[in-house]
A and B are shown apart, each in its own frame.
Chain A
Amino acid sequence: MEMKSNAAKGKKLHSKNAAMIASYGGLIFCIVLFTIVTPLKGESIWSPTKLATLMSDVIVTALMSVGAVFIYALGNLDISIGKQIGLYAAVMVTVGNLTGSLIPGILLCIALSMVIAVINGASGPLLNIIPIIPSVVVMQVLSGIITVIFATLGTRSITLKTIDYSIFKSPVLMLVVLVIEVAVAVFLFNYTAIGKQARMLGANKVSASQSGVSTVKVRVLCYIIAGICFVVAAIFQMGYTGSASDSTGTGFEMNIMVALILGGMPISGGMRSRISAAVVGAFTFSLLDVGLPMVGLPTRMTFIVKAIVFLVVVLITSRSKKSNVLPK
């Protein structure tokens, strides 16, 4: 009887940690593989240049994904993130060129992110519609606004004219900002009511509501936290080349989804959601981006390898029926 109980406990523990093991395992596998193989090709994944490339590749996805954890934990999916980044980058460059400073543009973007967060977060429960629908509408509206901006300007890309943006290329700054954002997010997610209630809502909306959790308030706050993370990500996206284009941010929401799943985030949200999934997943994704060409894999093949890695992680982490469904 005791043996049976121990076995059940072990099974439960294994099941609970399978996602984490799979995601960390993927990252460790990539690190070990590239550490061993790249020197055979006369390269090193640990060279300062490649580490800087890795950091610049990972920073935007990681910053966005950390914010997106708050949305995914609710069991929601926001597909307007890419267009939000595009709009914020365009606003920062335009306002920056008009005022000679990035600050007004950043403040304006934070204000915009709050408005978008309220629309995305509140309209689902208030109008009793699936939460993804407002994000589809927001995506289309933002897409239209971006097109109008660039059509009016008569160009596909705009560049900062007088502002020095070289600081945003610094890997050290990227790392510092990422660490600060992760620390704040971990605190909010794990040690405050917002994070706990977000996970409760993701796990069981009815139960959370009956326990006194305000669905609308928690959702809006989660979207606001995520929105601020997206603005921070947009600063680095724009600062990478000091520019914004009509396609900036296109497909980023998919990158986030892939990073979170690679990081072991349950795609239906809930109590197993964790911030580390965003960081682990983003680094795994970027390590593949940077490492695979270094081992001589043609660029076109890297997409296939990334897809296979993604599939492996999904196979390992999709243990329960619930985690097989996309968030509403």
Chain B
Amino acid sequence: MRVWNKVTKRIAAAVLVSSVAATALMGCGGSEAPKETNNAEETTKGGKILLMANSSSGPMYDFNLAYMDMWTEELGYTYEVIYGDAANDPAGNLNAVKNAMTSDVVGLITMQDGGITDIMAEYPELYVAGVGSDMASVYSEGGASAAAAENDHFLGTVAPGYVDGIEVGKMFAKAIEDAGYKKIAVCMSPAFAYPQYAIADQTIRAEIEAYNETAEEPIEVVDDEATVLMFKPLDDTFFNEPDHKDLDAIVGLCGGQMFVYPTLTNAIGNGTANPDTKLLTLGLEGADDLVADVGTGIVQQLYVPNFEEIFFPIVMIDNAIQGKQYSDFTKSEVLDGVYVSITSDEIMTNIEENSPLLSADMSKTSVSIEVGKEYLTRYNPDATYADLKEFMASDAFSEKAYEK
């Protein structure tokens, strides 16, 4: 029996070693060295673009892969997804880039800002642009990566929605007033990670206070400040507080479908929360039941940064690699992202049926190859950065783009 066990172990080990070798060798499919494609008209440069993602699953991840497939094929690049540190640790991000670095890498699209300065110091020829991140460490005064803002290889970023917390606060305050909620609570991700949400919380309170001065029926915002969620879902004990039992709505300054929705659903289910309590929040999870709930169930309003904004770093990096940057682009900046505002069941249905945001179906993209070519200087030498900025702020990225 002992001998048999040993033999089995050795066979298993041999099989596994072989599979390691086979898996590793499967990757060998030809040279990935940067190449120049000779078109009839001119020479275009290729190479590999790294996409440093902040997640490894979900609708945004699937969309980004499909979108990168579409654009890199069109533009003659390859790309590889790498995973930044889950908590945006500078060393973790630098390590992720270093380990994936090969001689053909020419650009980096990053969804995290930790360690940007170090990455750019390590690879000075690399063009870097961001998406889904306000790059606070780059653009805030005294930020850890502030040096990147002055680097001519850093090409800017698009924030996941408004950069300024005041604008976020005003957006939610208006939504509350318009919906007629009379008693609300605010939950948010910690201010040391998302300082703009602390500002948004204060703005909501200030806006509602101003509204109450003339309102017939005032709105009550419970607690002096938002309940802070330390990167984990709202605690069940939240609804044990007498003030939280009869709320009309909770504003989730966070990925509310992940951090607030499950607790609220449970609390409604077990009778500790008002069954009519609604959730207004940010972000979009792809699960069917969550999608079905938006606009009809607990989640009344959802503000989703449009995934299609990844078009911005693709354009900026391609222009730079081709040596054809916009003539009016002088310095990188952070652009406000456009929210896809899902405030009704009808809009949610539009997003499901007519957008690529949940399906990653590129035939439904609002920034198709044809539309996008207008902003790429390799196709349109007259394209300007001002045009691109205007486009990035347009309804091509809002829920209106998916109306039929």
List chain A positions with a Cβ less than 8 A from chain B.
Answer: 29, 33, 37, 40-43, 49, 53, 56-57, 147, 150-151, 153-159, 237, 240-243, 245-248, 250, 289-290, 292-301, 304-305, 308-309, 311-312, 315-316
Contact = CB atoms under 8 A, between A and B. Distances in A.
Contacts of B32: 41-42, 296
Contacts of A246: 87, 192-193
Nearest to A150: B192
B195 A154 contact: yes
A53 B102 CA distance: 11
Nearest to A52: B98
A237 B91 contact: yes
Given A305-B20, A312-B17, A243 B28 contact: no
A290 B101 CA distance: 9
A168 B345 CA distance: 55
Given A42-B31, A240-B91, A315 B9 contact: yes
Interface in B125-152: 137, 144
B16 A245 contact: no
Given A156-B87, A301-B27, A312-B16, 18 more contacts: A42-B103, A42-B104, A43-B102, A151-B190, A154-B192, A156-B114, A157-B114, A246-B87, A250-B87, A250-B89, A293-B99, A296-B27, A298-B27, A298-B81, A300-B56, A300-B81, A315-B13, A315-B16
Contact of A245 (B56, B80, B114): B114
A288 B254 CA distance: 36
B88 interface: yes
A240 B97 CA distance: 13
Given A299-B81, A316-B13, A241 B90 contact: yes
B318 interface: no
A270 B17 CA distance: 28
Nearest to B33: A42
B100 interface: yes
A295 B28 contact: yes
Contacts of A247: 85-89, 92
16 contacts: A41-B32, A53-B98, A53-B99, A53-B101, A151-B192, A157-B88, A157-B90, A157-B137, A157-B144, A293-B99, A293-B101, A296-B29, A296-B32, A297-B26, A299-B96, A308-B23
B12 interface: yes
A151 B191 CA distance: 8
Chain B contact patch, size range: 35 or more
B94 interface: yes
Given A33-B21, A42-B33, A154 B191 contact: yes
A305 B23 contact: yes
B25 interface: yes
Contacts of A29: 17
B187 to A, nearest CB: 17
Nearest to B93: A241
Contacts of A147: 230
Contacts of B100: 293, 299
Contacts of A57: 95, 98-99
B4 to A, nearest CB: 15
A304 B19 CA distance: 11
Contacts of B90: 157, 159, 241, 243, 245
B24 interface: yes
Nearest to A311: B16
